[in-house]
Structure 1
Amino acid sequence: MKKKALFFAGVSLIFMAGVVTPFLWKKTMDTKASYRLKEPMLISNSNGAPYYMIPTNTVLHFEKGFAEGHQLYKIDVFFKGKLPADQLAPDAASESTWLYPLDADDIPKVLHQYPLSKEDLVQIMKARKMTRDDLAQIVRDWKDD
């Protein structure tokens, strides 16, 4: 009788381990995708302004997707020294920050406001499928200060 009980206890334990192991494996091994930007992008608050630039090669870590069609990404940044910021309570509401690709119309404005490398500019223009004529028009419209 004791052997029979031990046998069923052992089989039950093996069965439970077989059921729980795939779940725990998926939970621990489910890593989220990361992406490296191919071009600089604009970043702004939820009102859409002011814009700032996030550089090419910035790595974004996928966090989650929403039914509305947008996704949440996180970035890692290094900062040396004392961060000039106030610590928030864990339940504090925060304003959303949005990431936007540059439109062709943004390029003249961005050229005046942000330091872009030649490579950054080439990547933006290729992504917007701009032609050499489009670039020539931007140069013609350029006003020296």
Structure 2
Amino acid sequence: MRKTSLILIVVLVALASAISGILLSECGVIHLNSKKTFRLEEPLLIEGEKQNSYSLLPAGTVMYYDKSWDEGHSTYHVYFHFKGEFKSAPTGGDGISPIWLRTVESDELPKLMADYPVSRDELSTILKAKRATKQDLLQILREWKE
């Protein structure tokens, strides 16, 4: 009888813990689910440490939401596979050095096309995301320096 009571108590405590965890997760108190993911529908500019130094994060890249900050920006994670070796140095305890990521503004397209090797597909995706008109394209072509 005592063994049966003990098993029943353990099962009830486990069940109550599971229900509490689910309720706390649903209320947003604790996070039991995986990170929210987003697949980019347009390339994004990665701002380098040097001024006017940019790279593109291609459309189709999956970004993992981390958190939003009071200052008005959010943090995302991106995972890369890498083969080979690269030069690096240990960072010590303060290894986080975030870089900025943002959409390409319409007025930046001529400079981007002149300074960065944008593929036809990337350019097409950017133009579609910005809902560029034929007038916009004509303006870009007029400003294009050869």
Question: Which category describes the TM-score, using the shorter chain as reference length?
Answer: 0.7 to 0.9
Note the C-alpha offset of 1:83.
1.9
Take 1:87 and 1:8, find their aligned partners in 2: how far apart are those partners? Answer: 56
Q: Who is 1:74 aligned against?
A: 77
Take 2:141 and 2:31, find their aligned partners in 1: how far apart are those partners? Answer: 53
Using the aligned pairs only, state the percent identity: 29
Q: For structure 2, which runs of at least 5 residues remain unmatched after alignment? A: none
| 1:32 partnered with 2:35 | yes
CA contact (8 A) 2:114 2:144 kept: no
Q: Who is 1:11 aligned against?
A: 8
Deviations for 1:26-45, whole angstroms, at most 9, x for unmatched residues? 78961112222111111125
RMSD across aligned positions (CA): 2.6
Any idea what SS the aligned residue of 1:10 has?
helix
Scaled by the length of structure 1, the TM-score of the pair is 0.80
Q: For structure 1, which runs of at least 5 residues remain unmatched after alignment? A: none
Structure 2 residue identity aligned to 1:14 = V
Any idea what SS the aligned residue of 1:42 has?
strand
Scaled by the length of structure 2, the TM-score of the pair is 0.79
Any idea what SS the aligned residue of 1:35 has?
strand
Structure number with bigger Rg:
1
